[in-house]
Structure 1
Amino acid sequence: MPNITLSVPPDVYKKMKEHSEIRWSEVARKAIVGYLERLEKGNLELPAKDILKMLGKDFEKKVTETPLETYERFHKKAREAEWTRTRSFTTRT
């Protein structure tokens, strides 16, 4: 199973440490699965502003201060990588 790393504010981390009996990775996994299920069902209608707020001020600051050209460059790279990946599939007829 792949691993991910999360950043949480120090006060949240302190509260998490007070409840060491809880498997926080399982809590995060269930939250992610639930979020994806709502997203796939179309029941997730959060504006970008709300998502940025949930991700925190530091993330929002990075997003808003990054030039649009940077995002366009990364989008182009991702699109080209996806095209390379999908065109390498062979199909049986």
Structure 2
Amino acid sequence: MPNITLSIPPDVYERMKKHKEVKWSEVARRAIIEYLEKIEEKFEISNDELLKMLGEDFVKDLESIPDEKFEEYYEKTREAEWKRLKSFTTRTS
């Protein structure tokens, strides 16, 4: 199994040392797995499921947007998402 190194603040390390019974690598492993599942989960919802969750009023509002405005909003959203993902990748690397 591959190993990774984590940096934590000194005060957290001191608190962890008080609980020698805890397998901290297992805690970190589970937290990473849960986080991955959480961020990967968002890509597993279908468009129909999403629209159903957002409700009929949202769908009506969405259908009333002119194609030109929709394309403009789409481009802005795509650019914002790219910046967010790029920022996230930069912070975690």
Q: TM-score, normalised by structure 2?
A: 0.46
Higher helix share: 2
Q: TM-score, normalised by structure 1?
A: 0.46
Larger radius of gyration: 2
